[in-house]
A and B are shown apart, each in its own frame.
Chain A
Amino acid sequence: NAGVMQNPRHLVRRRGQEARLRCSPMKGHSHVYWYRQLPEEGLKFMVYLQKENIIDESGMPKERFSAEFPKEGPSILRIQQVVRGDSAAYFCASSPPSGATYEQYFGPGTRLTVT
């Protein structure tokens, strides 16, 4: 059973460009979460999505960041007009449809570097 998949694993963008990060949850999972990990800091929650619904986006910056989980295809975290402070590791996690949202399984992450 394949785990959570993320791509790309590494992404380099110049300031002002857009970054698109993709996440495919584990087979059978319908809940997706995005977290950001800055150097020397812990994982910080960004957003919680189910298919076609944003459940909790309280951790998302108000501007430039958006996320979606369409009916078909992977979840996308989109960062517009990237700045150097966006450089971080972005992790996606998924949980089973049982409602046990604390049981989150993480992908390998996308490391974003803004030059």
Chain B
Amino acid sequence: QKEVEQDPGPLSVPEGAIVSLNCTYSNSAFQYFMWYRQYSRKGPELLMYTYSSGNKEDGRFTAQVDKSSKYISLFIRDSQPSDSATYLCAINKGSTLGRLYFGRGTQLTVWP
């Protein structure tokens, strides 16, 4: 069983839609949860990180963690064509344990 599972999509939505991206993980030892955005042939860009269950908001992005269900989500409000990219979830077992475990990524297209 993989440490983290993510539906690769692709996901295609119209501009202005609310986008929901999700990952599940297998081990309750994971403590930190990150979302990255990766444009084609570029490096991943850190969008948000969170530690506890609940919501964390940054502009149009909201990260949600449910540790009891081992489920993490990223919501994008008022989606824009510039949001078209691959979104990667990543998890980490502890603040000093460097290894990140990544999902496969969900490819998102926002069409005008």
Smallest beta-carbon distance B31→chain A, Å: 8
Contacts known (A43-B88, A101-B96); A106 close to B43, Cβ less than 8 A: yes
Interface status of B69 (Cβ within 8 A of chain A): no
Interface string of A33-72 (1 = CB under 8 A from B): 1010000011111001000000110110000000000000
Q: Contact mask B45-68 → A, CB, 8 Å, 1/0? A: 110010000000000000000000
Given contact pairs A43-B44, A108-B43, A109-B43, A102 touches B104 in the complex (Cβ within 8 A): no
Hey, which chain B residues are within 8 Å of A95, CB to CB? 98
Residue-wise interface mask of A (84-113) relative to B, using a CB-CB cutoff of 8 A (1 in contact, 0 not): 000000010001000111111111110100
The answer to whether A106 touches B44, judged by C-beta atoms less than 8 angstroms apart, is yes
Interface residues of B (CB under 8 A from A): 6, 32, 34, 36, 41-46, 49, 88, 90, 92, 95-105
B49 A102 Cβ-Cβ under 8 A: yes
Q: Which residues of A contact B44 (CB under 8 A)?
A: 43, 91, 106
Q: If A102-B92, A103-B49 touch, does A108 touch B98 (CB 8 Å cutoff)?
A: no
Q: Are A41 and B104 in contact (CB under 8 A)?
A: yes
Residues of B close to A42: CB separation below 8 A: 6, 88, 102-105
Distance of A35 Cα from B36 Cα, bound (Å): 14
Kindly state the separation between the CA atoms of A37 and B95 in the bound complex, as whole angstroms: 23
- Interface core residue of B36, B41, B100 (most chain A CB under 10 Å): B100
Given contacts A102-B34, A102-B92, contact A48 B99 (CB under 8 A): yes
